[in-house]
Amino acid sequence: MSMRALMAGYAVILAMFVIGCFAIDRSMPNLKGMRWLKSAFALAFAGIVLFSARSYTHLFFIVSLTNLSLVMTYVLLHQAICEVLERPNHQIRISMAVVVFNILACVDFTLVHPNFSYFSYAFSTTAAVQIALSAYVLFRHYPPLLRGPAMFAGGIMATLASIHVVRAIVTIFLGPPHTDLTHPYLFQSFFTLVHCMLGISAGLSFVWLSVCAQRLNLQTLALTDGLTGLLNRRAFEEALQRELTYSNRHGKALGLVLVDLDFFKIINDTYGHPIGDEVIRRVSAVLQCTTRGSDALARFGGEEFTMLLRDTDSMQAAMVAERIRHSIEMMDNLPVSLNITASVGVAVSTFGDTSETLLKHSDEALYRSKRAGRNMVSIHSDSTLERVYLPAPQSRHAFLSPHR
């Protein structure tokens, strides 16, 4: 196959890929990184088309412009990767240095030293550096749930960088056999073919990475509470079912703590929902600081929070619940100097309990706390409700007072 036919095929493939990117972006407008990817491969397409037109204009100028467009393609692709991984582009200075070096090499090649060996070496070296940066980001900064697509894309980029390094080394020792870079000699044909395959593979792997990232974000939105960032009710019920199945299988107890803020409706009615939302956010932050990393914490709805305590007996669950109640009661710097308290219900699973049973027991314990005066912890037992009375030093309407 002649190099001209190979380059023409490369251009057609790039054109089809760019069209596909526009179609994907139109059907999935929130897909991260696609605008950078479209720009990158459109630039690559333009560069290959320019190179094909070398017979009709200044050869050295067209070769320079083509190689610069390909380097810029890698820079834009790197920016797309950073956007998908939600990482700041800390390598932007290196990328700019790569571009500047390549521009200087293009100027020198076009106007001063029209040496193909030197220019091939300069292009392959700068391209390898930029591609290696992308591989580094993919290998080191991927979210755990995106490991598969990130490692695959990183492998593609690392292989592409290695190909450029090999080309630079070969150019140093042998140089290009022909001044016409489209001459069909073996190494140039091999490099062009492999570059085409790996370049398109890099684009496809990026699309896979971006789609997986969006799916992960949608799953996160579906399973987390938008106000607090905690698990929502649906996610908590799924976690409860999994943990209860595990506990029943291994004969371990599972503690469930249900927390309800006292008289929260009065806060919303008196000060408005923005103040109520801020209180909810502050309470969720306190709960996260109070619980272990292995515990599942969720906003169950409104002013209710739930917590799963793995491998926990009644006494341990009661201690955790009391720590939570006390932490909420001692909160300061709340909006409009509010003071708030919470009622807490605790239930611990026994063998054969279902998730509905455990939730019912914790709910019964919670409402026992409310009926008994609020700002206290009640624990459900097999035979009855054991109450742990922890009376507040102030009245139940203390939170409406501007000072403690």
What's the average model confidence in pLDDT over 86-95?
90
What is the model's pLDDT at position 394?
Answer: 42
Does position 402 have pLDDT exceeding 80, yes or no? no
Q: Indicate if the pLDDT at residue 48 is higher than 90.
A: no
Three-state SS at 248: helix
- Separation CA 34–CA 39 (nearest Å): 8
3-state secondary structure 326-341: HHHHCCCCCHHHCCCC
Each residue's pLDDT tens digit, 357-389: 999 999 999 999 999 889 999 998 765 455 554
Asked if residue 15 has pLDDT above 60, the reply is yes
Residue 205, amino acid: S
Burial of 162 per CB tally in 10 Å (0-12, 13-18, 19+): middle
- Domain 233-400 grouped into CATH 3.30.70.270: yes
Instruction: Work out the burial of residue 357: count CB atoms within 10 Å of its CB; fewer than 13 is exposed, 13-18 middle, 19 or more buried.
Output: middle
Residue 186: the pLDDT is: 67
Is pLDDT above 60 for 110? yes
Q: If pLDDT is split at 50, 70 and 90, which confidence band does 397 have?
A: very low
Q: In this model, does residue 390 exceed pLDDT 70?
A: no
Least trusted range by pLDDT, from 119-128, 167-176, 300-309? 167-176
- Distance in angstroms (rounded) separating the CA atoms of residues 45 and 195: 13
More confident residue, 342 or 402: 342
d(CA 356, CA 80): 46
Is 80 exceeded by the pLDDT of residue 14?
Answer: yes
To the nearest whole percent, how much of the chain has pLDDT over 70? Answer: 86
* pLDDT tens digit sequence for 283-326: 999 999 888 878 899 999 889 999 999 988 888 999 999 999 99
Instruction: Give, for 24, the enclosing helix (H) or strand (E).
Output: helix 3-27
The size of the chain, in residues, is 404
Q: What is the CATH number of domain 3-223?
A: 1.20.1070
Take residue 162 and report the two structure tokens written for it: 């290695």
Mean pLDDT of 43-51: 85
**pLDDT(2) > 80:** no
**47 closest CA partner among 26, 31, 32, 61:** 61
Check residues 139 and 397 and name the one with the higher pLDDT. Answer: 139
pLDDT of residue 56: 43
Q: What is the pTM of this model?
A: 0.72
Query: Which own/partner pairs from 53-58 qualify as long-range (CB within 8 Å, at least 24 positions apart)?
Result: 54/182, 58/110
Domain ranges of the chain: 3-223, 233-400
Asked if the model's pLDDT at residue 47 lies above 90, the reply is no
